[in-house]
Amino acid sequence: MIESQVIEKIQDWAGCTIQKQKSVSGGSIAKTDLIRLEDGRTCLLKTGSEHSDGFFKEANGLKEIRKTACIRTPEVYLSDEKFLLMEYIEQGRKDDLFFVRFGEQLANLHSRTSLKFGFKENNYIGSTPQLNMPNNSEAESWVDFYYNKRLLYQYKLAEKNQLVGNELKNGFLVLENRIEEILEGSEEKPCLLHGDLWGGNYLCDLNSNPVLIDPAVYYGHRETDLAMTKLFGGFASDFYHSYRKHKPLPQGYDYRENIYLLYHVLNHLNLFGSSYYGQAVRLVWSYLH
């Protein structure tokens, strides 16, 4: 059941009552309901996050992407520490050009740049805190930002969770000394990232346009978004061809892909446990042979 306080806030905003509510499948972090208002409007409601600021953060990420007008995201209607009310986007069928459009639109999103790495606030990657507030060196250096705010943070969290064995520990110590060498040659301006771009975080609307959902935004290196798409098998080849056509990648992207996958695999290790340990070890040691 939706809390009475949440219902009251929604009805105040809508100017009418909620006629129907229906639970729908969504992510593992929050409860998702389809809300039908008395005036016929349909909205999507997310409740039940374990983080008191989680819905604010997601709302701000959606707004950050939406204001670029590069790629569709649900419009945010209302949010506070208890809920997020947003546009309901009915899903359609992917036509033959869906992934071509997706690749081009993501390339356009990645053309929105910033002077510094990070973001105006910390947010979440799944239910794990994601640190986006850099110190001076991290704001200017992608190597510093990525190592400290992404890899090292997740590694220390895994240590705290007693998920780090000797293979990962020894490999990570060597990786620390090689991170500059691994990322050398890929220097670019910080660009706007979705931050958690796997197959479950995009939709296809009725006009066969891509829609981004559940972001973990920050300004970083675009190769991290592209690497994340590969974590569970990758997107259609047209997506990558279209992206590269509109925004060619620096030489050595394939070599750097594992270092960017490592962040997400370490996060999955922390979220879901030791089933991701072997993959984390393999990614670390792929740079140590």
- pLDDT per position as a tens digit, 156-175: 999 999 999 999 999 999 99
**Helix or strand holding residue 139 (H, E):** helix 136-140
The per-residue DSSP string of 67-103 comes to TTTSSB-PPEEEE-SSEEEEE---B----TTHHHHHH
Q: What is the pLDDT of residues 231-253, one digit of tens each?
A: 999 999 999 999 999 999 999 99
Among the listed residues 31, 111, 121, 33, the one whose alpha carbon sits nearest the alpha carbon of residue 68: 111
Residue 203 clears pLDDT 80, i.e. is over it: yes
29 versus 133: which is more confidently predicted? 133
Residues labelled as active-site residues: 196
DSSP letter for 275, please.
G
DSSP letter for 232, please.
T
Residue 286 and residue 257 in contact, taking contact as beta carbons nearer than 8 Å: no
For residues 180-197, give the mean pLDDT: 96
Assigned CATH for 4-87: 3.30.200.20
Residue 288 clears pLDDT 90, i.e. is over it: no
Residue 257 and residue 242 in contact, taking contact as beta carbons nearer than 8 Å: no
CA 240 to each of CA 31, 246, 254: distance values in angstroms, whole numbers, following the listed order: 33, 10, 12
% residues pLDDT > 90 (the chain): 89
In CATH terms, is domain 98-285 a member of 3.90.1200.10? yes
pTM, entire model: 0.95
Which pLDDT score is estimated for 32? 92
Q: How confident is the model at residue 55 (pLDDT cuts 50, 70, 90)?
A: confident
Residue 216 and residue 194 in contact, taking contact as beta carbons nearer than 8 Å: yes
CA 136 to each of CA 113, 118, 157: distance values in angstroms, whole numbers, following the listed order: 18, 11, 23
> Which residues of the chain form beta strands (DSSP E)?
18-24, 31-37, 42-47, 76-79, 83-87, 123-125, 128-130, 191-193, 202-204, 210-212, 218-220
Residue 180 clears pLDDT 90, i.e. is over it: yes
| Region of residue 73 (left: phi > 0; alpha: psi -120 to 50; beta: else) | beta
Between CA 6 and CA 234 the distance in angstroms is: 38
Between CA 252 and CA 233 the distance in angstroms is: 20
For residues 110-138, give the mean pLDDT: 96
Q: What is the pLDDT of residues 256-287, one digit of tens each?
A: 999 999 999 999 999 999 999 999 999 999 99
Written as six digits, the tokens of 88 are 């309901």
Written as six digits, the tokens of 240 are 């990558």
Between CA 231 and CA 107 the distance in angstroms is: 19
For residues 31-56, give the mean pLDDT: 89
For residues 143-155, give the mean pLDDT: 98
Which pLDDT score is estimated for 51? 75
Supply the angle between the helices 153-160 and 253-272 in degrees, to the nearest 10. 30
Q: How confident is the model at residue 28 (pLDDT cuts 50, 70, 90)?
A: low
Which pLDDT score is estimated for 49? 75
Q: What is the pLDDT of residues 139-148, one digit of tens each?
A: 999 999 999 9
DSSP letter for 120, please.
S
Give the start-to-end residue ranges of the domains of the chain: 4-87, 98-285
Which pLDDT score is estimated for 24? 87
Between CA 74 and CA 118 the distance in angstroms is: 23
Which pLDDT score is estimated for 184? 94
Q: Look over the chain and give the mean of its residue pLDDT values, rounded to a whole number.
A: 95
